[in-house]
A and B are shown apart, each in its own frame.
Chain A
């Protein structure tokens, strides 16, 4: 078996597992929400006649197994349905796209910043900075975001009242869409709730393990360049660390979007949950699962690319 066919088989296996995971998620979600008592029809209809008609149109009176199978079949053929109560009549796929374009930059920005800062500080052995940031990192995301927003607003308003400056374009946070708000959101998400300290800690440990390993000692003895070697060996655990944190950031998106009034997929999910808009909830949750499983898939594939030893294990 050549290394190339081994690579291909491994790739296909990972892809297959990605797809299966998503199908499993879809099934889990459908079942969970089909079992839920209470429905969206009550939110819309004030009179019994309308309520009955809506229940019928939205298939809310069907038994659980039937609803699960029907919507699963719909999902597999790409039909996500329509939003029932959040934006009545709007196709879920349209809302998913809108949510993804708003939240995507936030998510990937935070992921990059967090991994970059965490692993960068570990690489450069910048202990003091890391320690300081780790202490800040302990605070929950919502606390960091809310405190910073209030502080900035108060300072700006005080200056405004005293006549020192005119109202800045971002004032008042968090209502206006402005790069500062996005930057704040990315920073809070990247650092808060232990995100930074976890990544830094994990990077620190792997680097320490690598730097004290035998092959590095051998390289030092040979007089070979170190940083290249360490870097190549660090990329593997780094991709694993990134993949592990992806789920955490996707969950954190909901929090940061609610606190900072960003109109993205996270805030949409929260509102859809409150309004019992199950088609939209399922669509958004699957999108989240897709991102998480997708990051995992990318990490697995990059490991396959980086570590020849893994390819033979098809």
Chain B
């Protein structure tokens, strides 16, 4: 069972990426699907998961919702990598004052809980998924940087590094190729998977609570679907189709489970 788990994890994790590709290729029109005569229809042959209270097909909205987090989470990963990897690697390699200053900056950002930082950025600069992704990437960068810093520091004085330097290899080459690429890519991948899962969690939570409060105060706003705002939209309907709330919740939980299993398998192989 546990041997299958990493593969199940990767499968569950790739699922949203696959449905994201599917949703980009498909013609589903989020706007045109409104049909009040189909309100809260139960699952049927035409609508496998039924319809929500504005008559929109739940399954298609479930699929299209992947656009709200797959693309943006990749953007968040890029932001975290661009900030975190150089910051961690250079401070681990160089040490001294630059390292202290960089780490101080990162610690300061890390002292603010990630959710709070994202909330503040949205409150100050308006609400959009790209902004949330940017804020999430910036908020996650210190974690990534710390992990890389700790390991680079311990690798700094290892035999093979000294040997490389004695052979006249440039420091940059040693750092980026030998250390980061060869020894740390699994670590970086694991953090990317964690950030992906975190972003899904963040976006779903923000869209849910934002959806309860009023249209799109935080998170993804209607009519664009998000697993979080789908739940919030239907939660209060007295005659709701239960799949309209159950399906997004299950989908979220499954993808997060996949991310956890994948992340764990990356650690185990490393050890």
Contact = CB atoms under 8 A, between A and B. Distances in A.
A143 B209 CA distance: 11
A86 interface: no
B119 A197 contact: no
Contacts of B256: 138-140, 194
B111 A255 contact: no
Majority-rule SS of A interface residues = helix
Nearest to B108: A24
Interface in A138-182: 138-143, 146-147
Contact of B124 (A32, A141, A146, A269): A32
Interface in B231-268: 231, 235, 249, 252-253, 256-257, 260, 264, 267
A288 B108 CA distance: 12
Most chain B beta-carbon neighbours within 10 Å: one of A17, A20, A289: A289
Given A20-B104, A33-B124, A197-B260, A142 B116 contact: no
A226 to B, nearest CB: 22
Nearest to B110: A247
A96 B114 CA distance: 20
Contacts, number: 119
A205 B212 CA distance: 39
Interface stretch (A1-9, A44-52, A70-78, A270-278): A270-278
A188 interface: no
Contact of B114 (A33, A140, A142, A251): A251
A199 to B, nearest CB: 13
Majority-rule SS of B interface residues = helix
B120 A29 contact: yes
Contacts of A147: 249
A276 B126 CA distance: 11
Interface residues of B, number: 40
A281 B120 contact: yes
A227 B108 CA distance: 38
Given A140-B201, A143-B253, A193-B201, A292 B104 contact: no
A293 interface: yes
A21 B123 contact: no
A293 B111 CA distance: 6
A250 B108 contact: no
A43 interface: no
Contact of B217 (A37, A250, A255, A274): A274
Interface residues of A, number: 49
Given A21-B108, A255-B205, A201 B264 contact: yes
A270 B212 CA distance: 13
A285 B116 contact: yes
A259 B113 contact: no
B69 to A, nearest CB: 13
8 contacts: A21-B104, A25-B111, A32-B120, A32-B124, A138-B257, A140-B256, A146-B231, A274-B123
Interface of B: 104-105, 107-116, 119-126, 197, 201, 204-205, 208-209, 212-213, 217, 231, 235, 249, 252-253, 256-257, 260, 264, 267, 271
Q: Report the 9 A-B pairs with minimum CB-CB distance, sorted nearest first.
A: A251-B115, A36-B124, A251-B113, A273-B123, A24-B108, A289-B111, A250-B113, A247-B113, A138-B257
Given A134-B260, A140-B201, 11 more contacts: A21-B111, A28-B112, A36-B124, A143-B249, A247-B110, A247-B113, A252-B115, A255-B205, A258-B209, A273-B119, A276-B123
